[in-house]
Amino acid sequence: MKKVFYSVDYMILGSDKIHRMWFNNLEEAKEFAKADYRDKPVRHIYNDEKLIKMAEQLIELQKN
């Protein structure tokens, strides 16, 4: 099984740490990336079930 995810790295004003947001689709990633201090979306293709599950869990955790 192959699944594609997207991530966007971004900075929070006043912080020196780079944060990463994960997305299931490119449209959401592009919309998020439009704001200042955000990079362009990066595509990640996972074949391993463990990595797919990890990415899905990260996306779910970000919703809270």
**Per-residue pLDDT tens digits for 12-51:** 988 889 999 999 999 999 999 999 889 999 999 999 999 9
Residues 6+ apart with CB under 8 A from 17: 11
Q: What is the C-alpha to C-alpha distance for residues 16 and 57, in angstroms, rounded to an integer?
A: 26
pTM of the model: 0.89
- State residue 39's pLDDT score: 95
Cβ neighbours of 19 (radius 10 Å): 12
Q: Is 62 left (phi over 0), alpha (psi -120 to 50) or beta?
A: alpha
Q: Are 23 and 29 in contact (CB under 8 A)?
A: yes
